[in-house]
Amino acid sequence: MEKLKIAGGYPLKGSVKISGAKNSAVALIPATILAESPVTIEGLPDISDVQILGGLLEEIGGKVALTNDEIYVDPSNIVSMPLPNGRVKKLRASYYLMGAMLGRFKKAVIGLPGGCHLGPRPIDQHIKGFEALGAKVTNEQGAIYLRADELRGARIYLDVVSVGATINIMLAAVRAKGRTIIENAAKEPEIIDVATLLTSMGAKIKGAGTDVIRIDGVDSLRGCRHSIIPDRIEAGTYMIIGAAMGEGVMIDNVIPLHLESLIAKFREMGVIVETSNDQIWIAGNKDLKSVDIKTLVYPGFPTDLQQPFTSLLTRANGTGVVTDTIYGARFKHIDELRRMNAQIKVEGRSAIVTGPVQLQGAKVKASDLRAGASLVVAGLMAEGVTEITGLEHIDRGYSHLEEKLTGLGATIWRENLTEAEIEQVQNS
Ligand SMILES: CC(=O)N[C@H]1[C@@H](OP(=O)(O)OP(=O)(O)OC[C@H]2O[C@@H](n3ccc(=O)[nH]c3=O)[C@H](O)[C@@H]2O)O[C@H](CO)[C@@H](O)[C@@H]1O
Ligand SMILES: C=C(OP(=O)(O)O)C(=O)O
């Protein structure tokens, strides 16, 4: 078990290259199951979610070669082996194995997913979609059993706008007979990326990125090569770091359009932002003005940036209200930020941040991935040394974090925990 140590308070500058999007990668990899010949995906982030999914595909018979940023999957010998336990519990996106295996084999047994604990994260809309396509779905001892004699296209209205349900239904529907229409679909860029891969594989999909997606099922899908989109959440995290401590930080390999909600908030705060084709330049400002944010589905402010943004608000002048309309309990980072001297109180779905304060280094624990990101931002801003445990969460989503931050001039390193520290972390 390791901890991350950050000697904070120093200005940062230089450039940072953004990796491929985690939330695309974790859907693209299961999507390869649908092909009947090899698929290569390039530009992947080097994160544990990707490694776990690669391992899961091997477990069910796939031939997998995973390097730092590329995966080759030969799915010819994949079988619909039940995966009720084990690695599926380590990440959220293992739910995409349901849609992909149902699409290819018309049956699947997949344990309920893990991932970040952000309050309740039901998958009722995924199941509603699979049932509409003709699958019988049961939940037996924490695993979802799916079986269909055949999948038939259907009109599916999502009661909740869900990224996971939209992609999962798409994965199954590409191999259904006839037309599927997903209404009230999510519009996140990762959905377009998955539709692009499926289309290269031979699927017929129209409207990905809008709230109505039409899919005409096909009899078979073939292998292809796909290049993933950049991670807008990783990019947003480095933009926040640039706004907090940057004396000029260039974010490289980014699609500025994906980050318009964050850029708009930065401009309200007085952060200097310049965008070009695939780069964003950020310069902090010692006199930041506080703002309110409300998380919304894309293109609104992403819930996945809410936690790191909250850390930034501690150094802004005034009071900022952070409301999470997607996950009303995504506030486990707040107690840890308070240990670092932040003045934040939580009221219902909102965190009220009063600034500016000088954060102080402390021993803190990441309870989930973006809580970890918020503590890294705070650690870079704080006076003294911050020690962060719970790195397994951060490693799910940030590729080469220390390397990238060191490249910007940060002092950040990993150390092994002592036995006493391990016991302390396990009991906390
Ligand atoms: C692997 C992945 O891509 N994870 C992202 C995905 O998660 P995930 O796909 O799990 O999130 P959803 O978009 O499905 O969830 C959005 C909201 O809908 C609710 N809901 C969802 C499905 C359902 O069947 N029933 C239901 O009520 C959820 O509880 C939540 O309040 O989108 C989230 C919202 O942008 C992000 O925070 C996650 O980083
Ligand atoms: C919540 C997140 O991930 P997951 O859905 O994979 O748990 C995230 O990326 O912030």
Tell whether the model's pLDDT for residue 339 goes beyond 90. yes
Q: Which atom of ligand 1 is nearest to the CA of 163?
A: 13
CATH superfamily of 2-19+230-427: Enolpyruvate transferase domain (3.65.10.10)
Q: Determine if residue 175 is labeled as part of a ligand binding site.
A: no
Q: Which atom of ligand 2 is nearest to the CA of 49?
A: 6
Give the pLDDT score at 83.
94
Share of the chain above pLDDT 70, in %: 100
Identify whether the C-beta of residue 261 lies closer than 8 Å to the C-beta of residue 234.
no
How far CA 374 is from CA of 257, 287, 339, in Å, comes to 23, 20, 13
* Residue 381 banded pLDDT, cuts 50, 70, 90: very high
Pocket test for ligand 1, best of 162, 167, 190, 294 (most atoms within 8 A of CB): 162
Task: Measure the CA–CA gap between 196 and 201, rounded to whole angstroms.
Answer: 9
* Residue 422 banded pLDDT, cuts 50, 70, 90: confident
Q: How many CB atoms lie within 10 A of CB 48?
A: 16
Read off the pLDDT of each residue in 38-49 and give the average, rounded to a whole number: 98
> Of 239, 287, 286, 247, which Cα lies nearest the Cα of 266?
239
Pocket test for ligand 2, best of 19, 22, 398 (most atoms within 8 A of CB): 22
Residue 398 CA: which ligand is closest? 2
Question: Cβ(304) to ligand 2 under 6 A?
Answer: yes
Q: Which atom of ligand 1 is nearest to the CA of 127?
A: 24
Summarize pLDDT for 64-111 with one digit per residue, the tens: 999 989 999 999 999 999 999 889 988 999 999 999 999 999 999 999
Tell whether the model's pLDDT for residue 57 goes beyond 80. yes
Q: Whose CA is nearest to atom 10 of ligand 2?
A: 304
Question: Cβ(369) to ligand 2 under 6 A?
Answer: yes
Question: Cβ(90) to ligand 2 under 6 A?
Answer: no
Q: How many CB atoms lie within 10 A of CB 149?
A: 10
Report residue 82 CA to chain centroid gap: 26
Tell whether the model's pLDDT for residue 115 goes beyond 80. no
> Of 179, 182, 140, 187, which Cα lies nearest the Cα of 157?
182
Give the pLDDT score at 418.
87
pTM flag (> 0.95): yes
Give the pLDDT score at 114.
83
Question: Cβ(349) to ligand 2 under 6 A?
Answer: no
Q: Which atom of ligand 1 is nearest to the CA of 91?
A: 1
* Residue 120 banded pLDDT, cuts 50, 70, 90: confident
What ipTM is given for this predicted complex? 0.99
Give the pLDDT score at 25.
98
**The one-letter amino acid at 155:** R
Give the pLDDT score at 426.
80
Whether residue 356 has a cis bond before it, omega within 30° of 0: yes
* Residue 320 banded pLDDT, cuts 50, 70, 90: very high
Give the pLDDT score at 332.
95
Give the pLDDT score at 161.
98
Tell me how far the alpha carbon of residue 92 lies from the centroid of ligand 2, in angstroms: 7
Q: Is 224 a catalytic residue?
A: no
Tell whether the model's pLDDT for residue 162 goes beyond 90. yes
Whether 2-19+230-427 and 22-227 share one fold: the answer is: yes
> Of 137, 64, 62, which Cα lies nearest the Cα of 95?
137
Which residue carries 């390791």 as its tokens?
2
CATH code for the domain defined by 22-227: 3.65.10.10
Give the pLDDT score at 116.
78
Give the pLDDT score at 427.
79
Read off the pLDDT of each residue in 173-199 and give the average, rounded to a whole number: 98
Copy the structure tokens of residue 348.
């219902």
Q: Determine if residue 139 is labeled as part of a ligand binding site.
A: no
For Cα atoms 103, 34, 258, give the angle at the middle one, nearest 5 degrees.
Answer: 100
Share of the chain above pLDDT 90, in %: 92
Pocket test for ligand 2, best of 117, 330, 369 (most atoms within 8 A of CB): 369
Per-chain mean pLDDT for the chain: 96
Sequence ranges of the domains in the chain: 2-19+230-427, 22-227
For Cα atoms 318, 271, 6, give the angle at the middle one, nearest 5 degrees.
Answer: 85
Q: Whose CA is nearest to atom 1 of ligand 2?
A: 116
| Catalytic position from the list 116, 171, 249, 259 | 116
Give the pLDDT score at 423.
83
Task: Measure the CA–CA gap between 220 and 201, rounded to whole angstroms.
Answer: 9
Q: Which atom of ligand 2 is nearest to the CA of 115?
A: 7
For Cα atoms 402, 408, 413, give the angle at the middle one, nearest 5 degrees.
Answer: 25
Question: Cβ(93) to ligand 2 under 6 A?
Answer: yes
Read off the pLDDT of each residue in 214-236 and give the average, rounded to a whole number: 98
Question: Cβ(116) to ligand 2 under 6 A?
Answer: yes
Identify whether the C-beta of residue 43 lies closer than 8 Å to the C-beta of residue 226.
no
- 3-state secondary structure labels for all residues of the chain: CEEEEEEECCCEEEEEECCECHHHHHHHHHHHHHCCCCEEEECCCCCHHHHHHHHHHHHCCCEEEECCCEEEEECCCCCCCCECCHHHHHCHHHHHHHHHHHHHHCEEEEECCCCCCCCCCCCHHHHHHHHHCCCEEEEECCEEEEECCCCECCEEECCCCCHHHHHHHHHHHCCCECEEEEECCCCCHHHHHHHHHHHHCCCEEECECECEEEEECCCCCCCCEEECCECHHHHHHHHHHHHHHEEEEEEECCCHHHHHHHHHHHHHHCCEEEECCCEEEEECCCCCECCCEEECCCCCECHHHHHHHHHHHCCCEEEEEEEECCCCCCCCHHHHHHHCCCEEEEECCEEEEEECCCCECCEEECCCHHHHHHHHHHHHHCEEEEEEECHHHHCCCCCCHHHHHHHCCCEEEEEECCHHHHHHHHHC
Read off the pLDDT of each residue in 390-412 and give the average, rounded to a whole number: 97
Report the sign of the C-alpha dihedral through residues 390, 392, 394, 395, in that order.
positive
Identify whether the C-beta of residue 62 lies closer than 8 Å to the C-beta of residue 74.
yes
Question: Cβ(232) to ligand 2 under 6 A?
Answer: no
* Residue 55 banded pLDDT, cuts 50, 70, 90: very high
* Residue 425 banded pLDDT, cuts 50, 70, 90: confident
Give the pLDDT score at 58.
97
More confident of the two residues 120 and 127 = 127
Read off the pLDDT of each residue in 283-307 and give the average, rounded to a whole number: 96
Q: Determine if residue 121 is labeled as part of a ligand binding site.
A: yes
Give the pLDDT score at 224.
98
Tell me how far the alpha carbon of residue 175 lies from the centroid of ligand 2, in angstroms: 27
Residue 92 CA: which ligand is closest? 2
**The one-letter amino acid at 375:** L
**Cβ < 6 A, ligand 1 pocket:** 23, 26, 92-93, 120-126, 160, 162-165, 186, 303-304, 326-327
Q: Whose CA is nearest to atom 2 of ligand 2?
A: 116
